Amino acid sequence: MTSRRLVLTAFGRIRAGSLTVAEGGATRRFGTGDPHARLDIHSPKAWPLLLRGSRGLAESYARGYWDSPDLAALIRVAARNTQQIDNFRRVLRPVLAPFHWVTGTSRANGRRASREQIAAHYDLGNDMFELMLDPTMSYSCTLFERDDMTLEQAAVAKLDAVCDQLALDPDDHLLEIGTGWGGLAVHAARTRGCRVTTTTISQEQHDYAVTRVHDAGLADRVTVLQQDYRDLRGRFDKLVSIEMIEAVGWRNFGVFFRKCSDLLTPHGAMLLQAITIDDRAYEVEKRTRSFIRTYIFPNGCLPSLEVIRDNVTRETDMRMLALRDITSSYVRTLSEWRSNFELHWPRLRQLGYDERFRRIWRLYLAYCEAGFAERRIGDVQLLLAKPGYRAKSLLAAA
């Protein structure tokens, strides 16, 4: 089979880490050293799909054509050998072209498209996310300041860090773009005494957050909106957006930062937490229909630090005061989510989630964990400020 031969030839280029491929009782080993991964092929139908990049990898796994005892290790080996494998696939591009669709990000994310794309992920069911996440319902990188911290403690540490970096106090009115399930809004209002306006375009998240605010007795301090960020009005002392920019779409990065700047008072500040991609990989990222952008976050796009900096400079009068890299904490965060997902799978199955969903999400969580572990992607907190900002955050002072 030609596809099998081509994939094995690509595996032969592994130079960092090692991979054992098992099929029909026979095994072959490629590369040496750690990390070591194993790929168990159950069907020859896997081979042609494995030639199609991350989407083919995901689709073949979802269909049960292959398995691995450690998905994160498998993706880590692939990440460490990306250059060698990409060079080989570049030679094969004329052969593989009919199978690749690289035009899926040609249109901007309009309001209707954004709502549909957010619903495709965040409206999968609050019950599922409650089982996978910690009690704060933080679906973003937490902050493991010590090895002995629980996931919930790390989530609270992240919420405190955000409030500290913005130097929130009772006189502030904080705007949050991307409510999630209301964890930060409730935490900021309860611990810092500030007013909070938070917005989401997810129906499930909106309803959950409204109930959460009411149950916390904070309805007089927290307002939950269901509005697109482009439709927000008013002026706010502080602004926060936690891992929402990835859903904006690359054509709208300038629009996003311009709107954020317009919503801040002349003395305001913004805390942006963002998953980023290497500057040199950004052009490929924004035009490729990858596994994550097809099955998990439709039409999303990771910005690079250069893209963020350029848009802030070009579209706003804000300045970058500080940057904190929290990438290492995401590895542990995702590992904890993945463990929770597997632990609670019997209950999720009762709720109606099928085996295909299980395999896609298992791969998604391992895929991201490996990406952060190998620093193919990163997670940063950026403190941005208007010209009149004079307060000192703990991050800026560190």
Q: Dihedrals φ, ψ of 60, to 5°? A: -65, -35
Place of tokens 């990065």: 253
Taking only the tens place, the pLDDT of each residue in 298-348 is 888 999 999 999 999 999 999 999 999 999 999 999 999 999 999 999 999
Per-residue confidence (pLDDT) for residue 394, from 0 to 100: 52
Which member of 163, 260, 301, 368 is catalytic? 368
Q: How many residues does the chain have?
A: 398
Model pLDDT for residues 173-208, shown as the tens digit of each residue: 999 999 999 999 999 999 999 999 999 999 999 999
Q: Give the containing element (helix H, strand E) for 295.
A: none
Give the per-residue pLDDT at 294: 86
Model confidence band, residue 104 (pLDDT cutoffs 50, 70, 90):
very low
Q: In the chain, which residues fall in CATH 3.40.50.150?
A: 111-397
Average pLDDT over residues 247-264: 96
Residue 95 is predicted with a pLDDT of 45
* Host H or E run for residue 38: strand 36-41
CB 30 within 8 A of CB 12: yes
**Statement: residue 392 has pLDDT above 80:** no
Q: Burial code of 340-374, b = ≥16 C-beta within 10 A, e = fewer?
A: bbeebbeebeeeebeeebbbbbbbbbbbbbbbbbb
Spatial CA neighbour of 252 closest among 43, 82, 107, 72:
107
Contact 1, 19 (CB under 8 A): no
Per the CB < 8 A criterion, the answer to whether 84 and 40 are in contact is no
Of all residues in the chain, the percent with pLDDT exceeding 70 is 89
In the chain, the amino acid numbered 263 is L
Other beta carbons less than 10 A from residue 64's beta carbon = 14
**pLDDT recorded at residue 103:** 40
pTM metric for this prediction:
0.90
Query: Lowest-confidence range among 122-126, 248-252, 269-273?
Result: 122-126
Is the predicted pLDDT of residue 18 greater than 90, yes or no?
A: yes
Token output for 116: 């549909």
**In this structure, what token pair is assigned to residue 229?**
């960020």
291, two tokens? 């596994």
Mean pLDDT of the chain: 90
Characterize the bridge pairing of strands 195-199 and 222-225: parallel
Three-state SS for 271?
A: strand
**Confidence check: pLDDT of 117 > 90:** no
Place 355 in a pLDDT band, splitting at 50, 70 and 90.
very high
Q: Which CATH class is domain 111-397?
A: alpha beta
Using the predicted structure, report yes or no on whether residue 351 has a pLDDT greater than 50. Answer: yes
Residues 371-386: pLDDT tens digits?
Answer: 999 999 999 999 999 9
Q: Residues 36-47: pLDDT tens digits? A: 999 999 999 999
Q: What is the model's pLDDT at position 268?
A: 98
- One-letter amino acid of 356: R
For position 115, what pLDDT does the model report? 63
Is position 260 annotated as part of the catalytic site?
no
